[in-house]
Amino acid sequence: MGTTQLDTVPEPKYWHLKTVLTDALDSEFAVGEILPNERELAARFGVARATLRQALEQLELEGRLQRRRGVGTTVAPPRVGVAVGDTEHSWPGGSGPDSWLAVDCATEAPPVAVARLLDLGEGEPVHTVRRTRCTHSQPVAAELLYVPQGNVPGLAAVDAPTGAARARAVLRELQRLELDGHDQAVELGSARAEDAKQLDRLPGSPVLVVTTRYFAEGRTAAVSVATYRADTCRLTFGDPSLPLLAS
C-alpha cells in the first residue's frame, strides 16, 4: 500500500483552511462577493470560530479578503499599485490622478526618531503637516510631514495658526526649495488610532510605513512618515523611464 504521507507533518487546521479558502476564492467567487458569515463558515468546515478567524485574518493580511464589522466579509479586489519612489509623488506640489490632500497642521515636537533624522535637538518644535493620499477615491495613506521651522521662513504672515489653510501654506513654502534628492525606508507597522481613522481601518491593522528624507540646500529639508494600508496597497519604486509594473 503506497504510503500517501498521511500525518507525517500535522499541518495546523487554520493553515489547511486557508489553502482551501484560497482555492475557493480563485475559482468560485467574484470580486466584491459576500462570503457566508463566520459562524456559518466555521460550522461548515467543522472548526471553532476562532480557528476559522485565524485563517480569515491571514487572507485579509494577504489582501484577498476584506472584513467590515456589522457588514460581512467580501472578496477583495487585487491590490492597487501606488508609486512612492518617484519624487513627484510625494514632494509637495506633485498632483496627478492620485494625489495628496492637506488635512491639518500643528507646530510641536516630533518623535525622537524623527528629530534625529532632522538633526534637531529633542523637544524642538517643527511644523507637522498631516496629509491623506487617495487613489481611485479611496484613502490609501496617512502621512505626517515634519518641516523644521527654519526651512520655511516666509510663514509668519499667514494668519491661520493651524488647520488645512496653514498646512497648505507650509507646503507652498516648501515648494520654493530646490530638491536635491531623497532617501526612503519601508517597514511593517500597525496603525495608530489617528491613522486608522484616516484610513478607515481599525487601530492596529497592518500598515506599510514609508519614511522619506528630503534633501535640499545641503541639509535635510523635511521628513515624511507615511502609513499605507498594507491590505490594499502594493508600493512601487522604479525608474520612471521604464515600463510600469502592472498595477
Partner DNA sequence: AAGTGGTCTAGACCACTCA
Partner DNA sequence: GAGTGGTCTAGACCACTTA
Q: With the CA atoms of 71, 75, 78 and 80 taken in that order, what torsion angle do they form, in degrees rounded to the nearest 10? A: 0
* Residue of 208, 221, 222, 226 interacting with a second copy (CB under 8 A): 208
Q: Which of 78, 75, 81 is nearest to 98 (CA)?
A: 81
CB nearer DNA, residue 66 or residue 236: 66
CB nearer a second copy, residue 70 or residue 181: 181
Residues 37-56 close enough to bind DNA by CB under 7 A = 37-40, 46-51, 53-54
Least distance (Å) between residue 10 CB and DNA: 4
CA angle, 17 as apex, 55 and 77 as ends, to 5°? Answer: 60
* Residue of 19, 32, 68, 244 interacting with DNA (CB under 7 A): 68
Q: Binding to DNA by residue 70, rule CB under 7 A? A: yes
CB nearer DNA, residue 37 or residue 175: 37
Exposed, middle or buried, 74 (CB in 10 Å: 0-12/13-18/19+)? middle
Partner from DNA, a second copy, none contacting 178, C-beta within 5 to 8 A by type: none
Instruction: Count residues binding DNA (CB under 7 A).
Output: 27
What is the radius of gyration, based on Cα positions, of the chain? Answer: 22
Least distance (Å) between residue 214 CB and a second copy: 10
SS3 of residue 21 by DSSP: helix
